[in-house]
Amino acid sequence: MQTVDFGPGMKNRPIRQLDDKLINQIAAGEVVERPASLLKELLENCIDASASKIEIQVDRGGMKRIQVADNGFGIPRRQLTLALSRHATSKLAAAEDLFQVGTLGFRGEALPSIAAVSRLTLASRSPDQDRGYQVAVQGGHGISEPAPVAHRMGTTVEVQDLFYNTPARRKFLRTEKTEFNHCDQAVKKIALSQPTLEVVFMHDGKTVFHVLPAHTEEARKKRISSICGAQFSRQCVYLESQVETLALSGWTGLPTFSRAGRDLQYFYVNGRAVKDNLIAHAVRRAYHDVLYHGRHPAFILFLDIRPDLVDVNVHPAKSEVRFRESRLVHNYIYRTLHHTISELTPNDGKVSPPAPADIPLGTAHTGGHGRYPAQQNLRERVSEQLQGYDALVRGYRNQEAGPGGMSGHPLTGNDRDVPPLGYAIAQLKGIYILAENSEGLIMVDMHAAHERITYETLKAQARENGLNSQPLLVPVQINVSQSEARIAEDYMEEFENLGVEINRLGEEKLVIRSMPDLLSRSDVENLIRDTLSDLAEFGVSARIQDAQNEILSSVACHGSVRANRKLELAEMNSLLRQMEEVERSGQCNHGRPTWMSVSLAEIDKWFMRGR
């Protein structure tokens, strides 16, 4: 057998206390992974110093130089050396403070960690001094005596040659461009979290962005537009919600404004940007039903929670948090977003459908996916649903035509009573409904729209009728871990409410006896396994509902009006009215838009007609 040489570390050596320099280098490994991570720490210090303006200069992706200057309350001369010492902080005094952290920093590790792996100068002037003082340190060695320097009120930290003394770490850095992108994200994160902070951001001597303090909602939106791009700011909705100990506010993207990556996702807990699985899961769930497959939502959201209900001290870079009541937080985020998204019907004046360029291309929707066998009872349900639809149309047909209704009278200037999606005037190529509202022209993809309506109706029916639980012909036994078996027992009631009868057979064995009838022929074992793993991690799971919804969605797709079916005006109008009523009708089940509008003003422009 070959042996592997693990190097000198494997020899038996005596235990000894590490020296400070080594300790700082080890700590630097956690806090300073790359230029962007030290930039983040420096920016957080500016915020903690109540700065209202920050100037950032980054050279060569931050690998050569990062300088951050603020106009905050500064550091007095006699404390400059201390600021660079390990575990020295002005932000915590006692252990209790750790559960009431009101600042971004509190561990007193950032500056010494950065100093250990770079050449750092720290210059500052506090209000009681008539000049500034500066200290310098290289690779964590011998901090210089404070020397007088010209400096306005505030602090400037300059970090040069990151990892110059730790070549092994330098090798982990990527290209300048990649490192710059990370720096860019770090600056954006801070700029978005502090709407009244002026931020000047320069790279290699050129301005990347310069944003001014925003005090009104409109100004904030403009600021977001300069940071995240005009597309997002045009296609997001503002939300604000509050319950006892929690509040959620911010901007969330319309489902039709989705992204290929997660780059436009900003989530803050008490002002601190965090990455959190639980939160990510809740957001993903909220968008589950409306997002184009494989796309990611965009959002800038702020969760405020009573400080004692969240632990921020779980990660050296402070980018993770732990909630005391994680399930409550998860449900709150999910419900609030889900509600906001559901409300996005054409009735919502603030919401406009996307411009054609924003629709993701590539993965054409191929109709239903034959993953689940069509079931007899389902067919019946669909035909009921379609009969309901026909009845509705008939009812409509028997009514007198409203203004511009069946008769297709042209609408004049300021019709007040015109519904948001207007009245149908024609059908184009058997695919699109053309309608006229008070603003101009509406175009509706009738299959996509009807599919969403059918789907939402089927879901509502399933909710109302309860989930028909059906005994499995052959009960399914699954081997699980003890902890999974315990979870299954703990959540037995929840399972029952979903139509799943589950029992523990032994220490490590479960048996599933009944399933909701929609799911009786699905992969029961995997569905339950996935549900248990969600429950273990998040305390909640929506796998079972999702699996049912997937079937309903496929049913809706097959049961909806196909393209090339000729519709009468009354039928078209009926569809438009339903779209105004039904939740999430702005997107089809695959996240594509169901309708678009062109205002008269735009049409006038096409024809160069001034009014």
DSSP state string for 76-90: -GGGHHHHTSTT--S
Residue with tokens 């519904």: 419
Q: Mapping DSSP to helix (H, G, I), strand (E, B) and coil, where does residue 321 land?
A: coil
Site for ligand ADP in 338-357 (CB under 6 A): none
Non-local (6+) Cβ contacts of 526 within 8 A are: none
Q: Does 105 bind Mg ion (CB under 5 A)?
A: yes
Task: Determine, following the binding rule CB under 6 A, whether residue 451 of this chain makes contact with ligand ADP.
Answer: no
**CA dist., res. 368 & res. 380, Å (int):** 18
When asked if residue 316 is in the footprint of ligand ADP (CB under 6 A), the reply is no
Q: Which does 541 bind (CB under 5 to 8 A by kind): Mg ion, ligand ADP, none?
A: none
- CB of 90 or CB of 129, closer to ligand ADP: 90
Q: Could you say which of 61, 62, 108, 140 contacts ligand ADP (CB under 6 A)? A: 108
Residue 46 binding partner per list ligand ADP, Mg ion, none, with a CB distance cut-off of 5 to 8 Å that depends on partner kind: ligand ADP
Q: How far is the CB of 110 from Mg ion (least distance, A)?
A: 4
CB of 163 closer than 8 Å to CB of 118: yes
Q: Which helix (H) or strand (E) holds 56?
A: strand 53-59
Among residues 310 and 433, whose Cβ is nearest to ligand ADP? 310
Q: Is 39 in the site for Mg ion (CB under 5 A)?
A: no
User: Which region among 103-111, 296-304, 385-393, 522-530 touches ligand ADP (by CB under 6 A)?
Assistant: 103-111
Q: Are 120 and 136 in contact (CB under 8 A)?
A: yes
The DSSP line for 452-472 is HHHHHHHHHHHHHH---EEEE
> Residue 197 interacts with ligand ADP (CB under 6 A)?
no
Residue 163 Cβ vs ligand ADP, minimum distance, rounded to whole Å: 18
Q: Counting contacts by CB under 5 A, is residue 316 touching Mg ion?
A: no
Question: Which partner from the list ligand ADP, Mg ion, none does 108 bind, CB cut-off 5 to 8 Å by kind?
Answer: ligand ADP
- With respect to ligand ADP, which residue has the nearer C-beta, 120 or 485? 120
DSSP one-letter string for 512-580: EEEEEGGGTTS-HHHHHHHHHHHHHHHS---HHHHHHHHHHHHHHHHHSPPTT----HHHHHHHHHHHH
- Cβ-based nearer residue to ligand ADP, 35 or 105: 105
Instruction: Provide the Cα torsion 560, 566, 571, 572; round to 10°.
Output: 90
Q: Which is nearer to ligand ADP, 75 or 551 (CB)?
A: 75
CB-CB contact of 604 with 611 (8 Å) = yes
Nearer to Mg ion, 110 or 191 (CB): 110
Q: Give the interface segment with Mg ion, choosing from 39-47, 430-438, 527-535, 565-573 (CB under 5 A).
A: 39-47
Q: Which residue has the tokens 């985020």?
A: 333
> Interface with ligand ADP includes 75 (CB under 6 A)?
yes
Binding flag, residue 110, Mg ion (CB under 5 A): yes
For ligand ADP, the binding residue among 28, 56, 83, 500 (CB under 6 A) is 83
Write the secondary structure of 376-418 as one string of H (helix), E (strand) and C (coil).
Answer: HHHHHHHHHHHHHHHHHHHHHHHCCCCCCCCCCCCCCCCCCCC
Q: How many CB atoms lie within 10 A of CB 335?
A: 16
# residues near ligand ADP by CB under 6 A? 20
Query: What minimum distance in Å lies between the beta carbon of 187 and ligand ADP?
Result: 15
Residue from 86, 148, 77 nearest 111 by CA: 86
The reply on whether position 105 binds ligand ADP by CB under 6 A is yes
| C-alpha span between 159 and 65 (Å, rounded) | 6
The smaller minimum CB distance to ligand ADP, of residues 55 and 70, is found at 70
Question: Phi/psi zone of residue 362: left (φ > 0), alpha (ψ -120 to 50 degrees), beta?
Answer: left
159 binds, among ligand ADP, Mg ion, none (CB under 5 to 8 A by kind): none
Return all residues near 368 (Cβ < 8 A) that are at least 6 apart. Answer: 554, 555, 557, 558
Say which entry of Mg ion, ligand ADP, none residue 276 contacts (CB below 5 to 8 A, set by partner kind). Answer: none
Helix (H) or strand (E) segment spanning residue 240? strand 236-242
- Chain Cα centroid distance, residue 411: 41
Note every long-range contact of 176-182, with CB atoms under 8 Å and residues 24 or more positions apart, other chains counting.
176/60, 176/61, 176/63, 177/61, 178/61, 179/34, 179/35, 179/36, 179/61, 179/62, 179/63, 180/58, 180/61, 180/62, 182/34, 182/35, 182/36, 182/62
Would you say 154 or 499 has its CB closer to Mg ion?
154
Q: Using CB atoms within 10 A of its CB, is residue 266 exposed (0-12), middle (13-18) or buried (19+)?
A: buried
Report, in Å, the least distance between residue 311 CB and Mg ion: 18
Which of 89, 118, 531, 594 touches ligand ADP (CB under 6 A)? Answer: 89
Q: How far is CA 169 from CA 62, 117, 342, in A?
A: 15, 9, 48
Given 61, 62, 74, 346, the residue binding ligand ADP (CB under 6 A): 74
24, 25, 37, 45: residue in contact with Mg ion (rule CB under 5 A): 45
* Binding-residue pattern over the window 135 to 174 for ligand ADP, x denoting contact by CB under 6 A: --------------------x-------------------
CA distance 333 to 285: 10
Of 74, 58, 77, 76, residue with least CA distance to 66: 58
Amino acid at 551: I
Provide the minimum distance between the beta carbon of 212 and ligand ADP in the complex, in angstroms, as a whole number. Answer: 21
* Contacted entry of Mg ion, ligand ADP, none for residue 72, CB cut-off 5 to 8 Å set by kind: ligand ADP
Is 45 or 233 the residue whose CB approaches Mg ion more closely? Answer: 45
Residue from 25, 37, 45, 437 binding ligand ADP (CB under 6 A): 45
The window from 83-91, 364-372, 424-432, 509-517 that contacts ligand ADP (CB under 6 A) reads: 83-91
* Residue in 39, 63, 110, 567 binding ligand ADP, rule: CB under 6 A: 110
Please select the residue that binds ligand ADP; options are 52, 57, 81, 90, rule is CB under 6 A.
90
Q: Which stretch binds ligand ADP (CB under 6 A): 10-18, 104-112, 177-185, 362-370?
A: 104-112
Residue nearest to ligand ADP (CB): 105
Residues that bind Mg ion (CB under 5 A): 45, 105, 110
Question: Which residues in this chain contact ligand ADP in the complex, by CB under 6 A?
Answer: 41, 45-46, 49, 70, 72, 74-75, 83, 89-91, 105-111, 155
